[in-house]
Chains A and B, each alone.
Chain A
Amino acid sequence: MIYPIIKALHLVFVVLFAGGLLAGAWQLASAPSTSAGTLRNRRQWHRRVTTVAMFGAWSFGLMLAEVGHWFPAPWLIIKLALVLALSALHGVLSGRLRRIEASPATSDDTAFPWAGMVILLVAGIVFLAVLKMPAT
Chain B
Amino acid sequence: MTDTETSTRPIGMVMPVDRDSRGYDVTASGTLRTSHPKGLKALRLCSILEATTLVVLLFVAVPLKHLVHLSVAVTIMGPLHGLAFLAYVWAVFDTTSNMRWKAHEIARLVLAGFVPFAGFSTGRYLDKVRPTFAGRNAG
Contacts and interface: CB of A to CB of B under 8 A. Distances in A.
Interface of A: 54-55, 58-59, 62-63, 65-66, 71, 80, 83-84, 87-96, 98-99, 102-103, 106, 109
User: Quick one: which of B83, B87, B90, B92 has the most chain A CB within 10 A?
Assistant: B90
B87 A55 contact: yes
Nearest to B97: A95
B32 interface: yes
B89 interface: yes
Given A65-B79, A66-B75, A99 B89 contact: no
B89 A84 contact: yes
Interface string B63-97: 00000000000010011001100110111111111
A94 B96 CA distance: 10
B99 interface: yes
B27 to A, nearest CB: 11
Given A91-B97, A92-B97, A99 B32 contact: yes
9 contacts: A58-B86, A66-B75, A83-B86, A88-B93, A89-B93, A91-B89, A91-B90, A95-B95, A103-B32
Contacts of A80: 82
A102 B92 contact: no
User: Quick one: which of B35, B36, B75, B94 has the most chain A CB within 10 A?
Assistant: B94
B24 interface: yes
Given A59-B83, A99-B97, A99-B99, 12 more contacts: A66-B79, A88-B93, A91-B89, A91-B93, A91-B94, A91-B97, A92-B93, A94-B97, A95-B93, A98-B36, A102-B24, A103-B31
Given A87-B86, A87-B90, A95 B79 contact: no
A88 B90 contact: yes
Interface string B13-28: 0000000001010000
B31 A95 contact: no
Contacts of A62: 79, 82-83
Contacts of A84: 86, 89
Interchain residue pairs A-B with the least CB separation, the first 10: A95-B97, A91-B93, A91-B94, A62-B79, A92-B97, A91-B90, A88-B93, A94-B94, A87-B90, A96-B98
